[in-house]
Chains A and B, each alone.
Chain A
Amino acid sequence: MMILAKLAVGTATTLALATVYTFREGTVRVDVDEHHDGGTHVHVWAPAAVVPMALHFVPDRNLQQVCQHSEEWAPLARIAAHELSRYPNTTFVEVEDGEQHVKVSTVGSKIQVDVDGPDENIHVAVPLVMIDDVISQLQARQPAA
């Protein structure tokens, strides 16, 4: 009985710590809804910590093109992500064009892009911390010159 209790506590603690670790960077949300017959409906909700880990399994040839020019955009993306985290809950760009509405904003510690249109709705929310991790991963995967 005692051993079972210890095992249960150990498993619960490990699970709790693993959950905390996985969700420490928040979640990535991608929603795509096409408003036509047979249109795509994609709803992804995943822990942000999983994304840099998943990059390990992407073949080099698929990342080559992204990595090739990373020295051009990576410092900019890194600085922008870091600076944006200082402005939570702020709308930076908003475009309204009759039926279409595009918004780029920060919601808490995430950058969120919302596109609402007559043909489709796209909502993407990415934790800013994750951007830095992904860039580090991509730079590490850069082929040596």
Chain B
Amino acid sequence: MSFCSQPFRAAAVALAAAAVLAPISLLAQGNTTSSSLSSSSERWLHVRVVNTDDKNETVKVNVPLEFAEKVLPAINKNELHDGKLRINHSDMNGVDIKTLLDAIRTSKDGEFVTVQCPDANVRVAKQSGFMLVHVTEKATSSKNGKPVEKSRVEVKVPMKVVDALFSAGKDELDLVAALKALSVNGDTELVSVKSDDATVHVWLDSKNISD
């Protein structure tokens, strides 16, 4: 059989083409797998900070919860280890936060803390399986001397996430457990801060973009 015969040439061309295209097809397969993995079941944590000063600075962070769950345990630095954060009791001003949250968890829906003073209103409540914290900071208007809203902070955290967060032990916050608990929740606005010069939003949904 001649080297230049038709079947030999066809086989050689096919072999060369297969060798060249194999990595491309593997890459394509890899991308298909990746695309299907980032399906609607994927939960994304979004953070958006808009600074309303002259430069109009914007920070957008989009993190898949599963990514955070995998990466956090690999960070072992300072107070963070194995996905858990050590609490420094000297920073808590003598407040036993675990006992406090235990009391909130076991009680019925309602308001637990309501503080109304000239410069701020604080409200801590439990409602439909969520822990709500609302803080409104007030300032005196220079025009009429009446109090006006300076900033508003609204935090809405599912109680299951709070439970998971404090499931590690007395002196630790289990961040990975909290992320796992968070991932089973639907679309939720977790933190909203509105002030004169900035707005902050932290929310959870199934989209990989924040717009």
Contact = CB atoms under 8 A, between A and B. Distances in A.
A109 interface: yes
Contacts of A6: 3
Interface in A62-106: 72, 75-76, 79-80, 83-88, 90-98
A16 interface: yes
A54 interface: no
A85 to B, nearest CB: 7
Interface in B1-46: 3-4, 12, 16, 19-20, 22-23, 27, 30-31, 34-35, 37-38
B74 to A, nearest CB: 4
B207 to A, nearest CB: 10
Contacts of A92: 61-63
A133 to B, nearest CB: 15
A88 B63 contact: no
A35 interface: no
Given A9-B12, A83-B71, A85-B34, A90 B4 contact: no
B34 A88 contact: yes
B74 A76 contact: yes
Residue of A75, A76, A87, A97 ringed by the most chain B CB atoms within 10 A: A87
A76 B64 CA distance: 16
Interface in B44-88: 54-64, 66-67, 70-71, 74-77
A20 interface: yes
A118 interface: no
A145 interface: no
A88 B176 CA distance: 24
A11 B63 CA distance: 48
Contacts of A94: 58-60
A83 B27 CA distance: 16
Contact of B16 (A13, A80, A91, A97): A13
29 contacts: A2-B4, A5-B3, A12-B16, A19-B20, A20-B22, A23-B23, A24-B23, A72-B76, A75-B74, A76-B71, A79-B71, A79-B74, A80-B67, A80-B74, A83-B67, A86-B34, A86-B37, A86-B38, A86-B64, A87-B208, A88-B34, A88-B38, A91-B209, A93-B62, A94-B58, A94-B60, A95-B58, A96-B56, A108-B31
Interface of B: 3-4, 12, 16, 19-20, 22-23, 27, 30-31, 34-35, 37-38, 54-64, 66-67, 70-71, 74-77, 208-209
Given A5-B4, A86-B67, A95-B57, 13 more contacts: A12-B16, A72-B76, A86-B37, A86-B38, A87-B38, A92-B63, A94-B58, A94-B59, A94-B60, A96-B57, A96-B58, A97-B55, A97-B58
